[in-house]
Amino acid sequence: MDFSPWEIKFYDFIDKLPFDLALYHPHMVHFAVALPIVAFLFQWFSIASPEKGYQGSSNLLFYFGVMFIILAFITGKAAAPDVKPTLSIAGQDLFDTHKEIGTYLTLAFMMLMVLQLFSSAIKKEGIKYLITIVMIATFIALFYEIKSGHELVYEYGAGTQMQYENRF
């Protein structure tokens, strides 16, 4: 596996940690999926209802969701060197796709968070609709990422004992 200079520094840092960061990836992923989805529902409620509480709840849940998306990205990067070599060729192709989409999703959600913070600062109603439209696009990609992660685990055994059994 070829690593960029940034990745080499990252993996050197990961190796110095007193715990295995890769073990936390499944846990981070569940929060990274659930919190933004609930935030999205609250975003819809804030559009449909004059209540102010929905928008604040949506923002708070979304910020925590983005934090978990970043943690899922980091833990996924930590797991990559151990998981990818144990997968079949088809599994490695899907893994590369999963990794690439995860990178773009992390960036998209961080940009969406900046837009959300900007919206909160200027308090313009129209931006709330723009954020909702952008959220829909990112959630389409998120659902594909969920599907590919599910396939990696349940069909190719990524991150499980099955990955070692299927390797030979």
Among residues 88, 65, 76, the alpha carbon closest in space to that of 135 is found at 65
Section 5-32 average pLDDT:
83
Task: Check residue 166 and report its DSSP letter.
Answer: T
Backbone φ and ψ for 123, nearest 5 degrees, come out as 55, 45
pTM: 0.84
Q: Quick one: pLDDT band at residue 50, thresholds 50, 70, 90? A: confident
What confidence tier does 3 reach under pLDDT thresholds 50, 70, 90?
A: low
Largest CA distance in the chain: 60
When pLDDT is cut at 50, 70 and 90, the band that residue 122 belongs to is confident
Q: Which sequence spans correspond to the domains of the chain?
A: 20-165
pLDDT score at 168: 45
How far is it, in rounded angstroms, from Cα 63 to Cα 57? 10
Collect all residues with Cβ–Cβ distance below 8 Å to 5 and sequence separation of at least 6.
none
